[in-house]
Structure 1
């Protein structure tokens, strides 16, 4: 019973962060929720290992990446990639959310210009806010590799047209 209470608190604390990470890794919002749910189901099944992990955050985000990679390798993902479903946009934008929406869209498009490896490092390091060591552990790479991928990723993002055209003081130009 104590494990289930601890697990429930863990889920409540991590849910939105896991979904957000999956979105920035390239999943649509409903797919991101599926990935987060599958990750948390794995956590439940292996709760003793998750609890005992030296770095629980890195362990869980590694699980998230593995779930996402597995989903992408499936026949369903290959079919969906060839026939993408466009997400419906609302007919009218909400005035106070327009700037935030433009910013989110620009960041999302810029992130898609990165390689999978670069996107994973950027998401785990900056969006999830794992340390370099945690990011390295989650990805199974060395901390120096994290640093070099981040450096190349940030250089690429700094000249990405989606972000360059963005006027952070008053919307898009």
Structure 2
């Protein structure tokens, strides 16, 4: 196996933006381990095409689009089931019950709707930018956002809205 050497500027990009990309992928996927896989896959793809990507005005936006596409297409390696003799460790329970409820509700949304909300409210993108990132029409972005928000509002009980 041959070794791969990162192109000029790619290592600096990864050092500067890795944590932000992980946060973005975590909000998108709802799972820390899946987020790590998404970012790793995206950086592998970006690294092999870095000379072309860095010519664009927004290489981070390009990498975010790779993350979104991998998430929407289910191309993560971690999606495969693995049989183990003992179950993996469970995460510690979260302190805020409303936070858990929101994560559970986000997980019930279809991938396209969830991606739309994450790009809108977490990445603070405009509808046109979201449409460009997802490769769809602005009208589709609007309808996905409206349906997702309606589903979240309908699922929230008065007790966990406070």
Higher helix share: 1
C-alpha RMSD over aligned residues: 2.9
Q: Which sections of structure 1, spanning at least 5 residues, go unmatched?
A: 169-173
- CA contact under 8 A between 2:131 and 2:138: conserved in structure 1? yes
- Once the two structures are TM-superposed, the CA of residue 13 in structure 1 deviates from its matched residue by 3.4
- CA contact under 8 A between 1:121 and 1:149: conserved in structure 2? yes
2: distance between equivalents of 1:51 and 1:164? 48
Q: Which runs of structure 2 are paired with 1:1-173 in the superposition (5 Å)? A: 4=8, 6-26=9-29, 28-53=31-56, 55-68=58-71, 69-72=73-76, 77-79=79-81, 88-90=90-92, 98-99=95-96, 102-161=97-156, 164-166=158-160, 168=162
- CA contact under 8 A between 1:58 and 1:135: conserved in structure 2? no
SS in 1 for 2:29: coil
Q: Larger deviation: 145-154 or 63-72?
A: 63-72
- CA contact under 8 A between 1:24 and 1:111: conserved in structure 2? no
- Once the two structures are TM-superposed, the CA of residue 55 in structure 1 deviates from its matched residue by 4.6
2: distance between equivalents of 1:115 and 1:29? 19
RCO higher in 1 or 2 (8 Å CA, sep ≥ 6)? Answer: 1
- Once the two structures are TM-superposed, the CA of residue 29 in structure 1 deviates from its matched residue by 0.9
Q: TM-score, normalised by structure 1?
A: 0.71
Q: 1:32-65 CA deviation, whole Å, 9 max, x = no partner? A: 1121022112111111222223554442222112
Q: TM-score, normalised by structure 2?
A: 0.75
